[in-house]
A and B are shown apart, each in its own frame.
Chain A
Amino acid sequence: MSPIFYLLAAITLAGGLASVLLKHLVHCALAVTVAFAGLALLFLELDAQFAGFAQILVYIGAVAILIVFAILLTRGSELPKGGVFSSTWLVGLVIAAGVFAVLGWAVLASVNAIPQSNIVPSVTVHDIGIALVGRYVLPLEIVALLLTAATIGAVIVAMHEKKERPQ
């Protein structure tokens, strides 16, 4: 647990907290981008270069832009009328605590399951590539189908608006 880890964890947490506590939605979107950047830096600190740069490329370069477009194209850019805390905050807190407990138990239990070794395996991009088209080719193809379906769906939704126009 080096000081760099604490710093990066603090940045990520601050971004996450800001994204739920700020009033203006676009500020929240930018704060969640900071959280993504913190995550990417955590990956890089663990020497997972591919994961870190892919996180920046995909999350900050595409997902954040997507969130921002969605906010701007709907009425989300108006300030909320009644505070940032909803009236059912207790239920939300309980559910969030439950999810955190399950995740924490899973992570801590897995530490005991994997044999402890001080040698960090170095995974190169080559290894990731071989794994993707070797062992994990089925998930890869399913994800590709999913993306194709999403693209075609987006095109159809955009085209449908034109046909609905009364002639």
Chain B
Amino acid sequence: MAANLDQIFIHLRNWLVGFLPAALQPAAGVVLGVIAIVCVFPGLFALTTVFERKGLGRMQNRLGPNRVGPYGLLQPIADGIKSLTKEDIVPFSANAVVHFLAPLVLVVTVFMGFAVLPMGRNMVLVDMDSGLLFFFAMGAATELSVFMAGWSSRNKYSLLGAMRAVAQMISYEVVLLLSAVSVVMIAGSLSLTKIVEAQNQYSGGFPHWYIFTPWGLAGFIVFAIAATAETNRTPFDLPEGESELVAGYHTEYSGFKFALFFLGEYLAMFALSGLGATLFLGGWSAPFSFLAWVPSWIWFFSKVMCAIFIFIWMRGTLPRLRQDQLMNFAWKFVLPFTLLNLLVTALWRFMGDGWQRWVVCTVILAAAYVIMGRLQMRSQHFGRRSYRYAE
């Protein structure tokens, strides 16, 4: 019974595809998977927008939207109708073709990233040998769409916002990849399904998730920071902060195109949360072996929603980082720490099983964190300001 519930979507797909001739069946299976992804994740996006507004409201001692539908749950429908019926304004001297293509490129590349995430047992859309590399390739292509949006608007604030966003995304892309490389080192494969299977083992009831190892915890924290910066969330949302550059690179977008940018940003959040869950939190595996009767896709989506809740929590807590502060943070603190994490992962792998590797790795990482933290905090001198072009 539990196994049936676990594989219920696979059975559904096989049953539906069985109506077609055998030659078309693989293609039809893939198309059905694509339809499922395109329906589920934008639906989650709609739910997330209302939960974000209500969650932020509660954290700020106020109610969120609660007029549209019970407890405001139909608010995304109202938002959707609003964004669909708004006038689509394209600036007169803007590059119309590039202006039109930018949100398309963003949404298409972000949707492609979902193709390699294992959302449950046997529930990957495409099981590729280098699935992780594919995911990061799609992430890299989203930076191009940000630049296209900012440049084609023919607006200096949009261009500035796009430049800042691209610089930020490139810096944290390096960190993201390096923190994932340590997982690849231990799992021995770039394929996400194999990474999840490597974590799906239990010893004494406790799972072998990578987050429960010293290098895994450090890697997860670094991955979380880099994912927050990649998707332009607070505290790294300078490119799109409303009080900064109006709305940054999507200033000149209105109506449905703006909704597409919004959708792309939240889908990127889901994709990166899904990847983080797959790499460090064991993907679809249950936290304890006695809980394995709960369907695997429920575990995956709960982990993703927990990650989303933490994103919302951080947004409600932290102020925005300035551009030079976030670049400093990336290159001077996070990147050296990630490289050290790689070294520690290699140590872990080659020291063999035993308690020694736990102690050594934990000590190295903790000492590095404390020392680098002290260095960072000491280097903040607030001296006299010098203005480069005013003197």
Contacts and interface: CB of A to CB of B under 8 A. Distances in A.
| Direct A–B touching, Cβ under 8 Å | yes
Given A56-B141, A125-B190, A165-B388, A65 B147 contact: yes
B133 A61 contact: no
A72 B140 CA distance: 20
B140 A61 contact: yes
- The prevalent SS among residues of B at the interface is helix
Contacts of A165: 388, 391
Nearest to A60: B141
A54 B151 CA distance: 26
Contacts of A26: 98, 151
B6 interface: no
Contacts of B159: 72
A50 interface: yes
A62 B143 CA distance: 9
Contact of B133 (A33, A54, A68): A54
B148 A53 contact: no
B109 to A, nearest CB: 10
B347 interface: no
Contacts of A61: 137, 139-141, 143-144, 173
A75 to B, nearest CB: 15
A61 B98 CA distance: 18
A140 to B, nearest CB: 15
Contacts of A27: 95, 98
Contact of B140 (A30, A56, A69): A56
Contacts of A64: 144
Given A30-B98, A30-B148, A53-B134, A125 B140 contact: no
B125 to A, nearest CB: 16
Interface in B156-177: 159, 163, 166, 170, 173
A97 to B, nearest CB: 32
Contacts of B388: 162, 165
Contact of B129 (A49, A56, A162): A49
Interface in A98-125: 124-125
A53 B166 contact: no
A158 to B, nearest CB: 12
B376 interface: no
A65 B165 CA distance: 12
Nearest to A73: B163
A125 B132 CA distance: 12
Contacts of B170: 62, 65
A65 B168 CA distance: 12
27 contacts: A27-B95, A33-B144, A49-B128, A49-B129, A49-B134, A53-B130, A53-B133, A53-B136, A54-B133, A56-B140, A56-B141, A60-B137, A61-B139, A61-B143, A62-B140, A62-B170, A64-B144, A65-B143, A65-B147, A65-B170, A68-B147, A69-B166, A72-B163, A125-B190, A162-B388, A165-B388, A165-B391
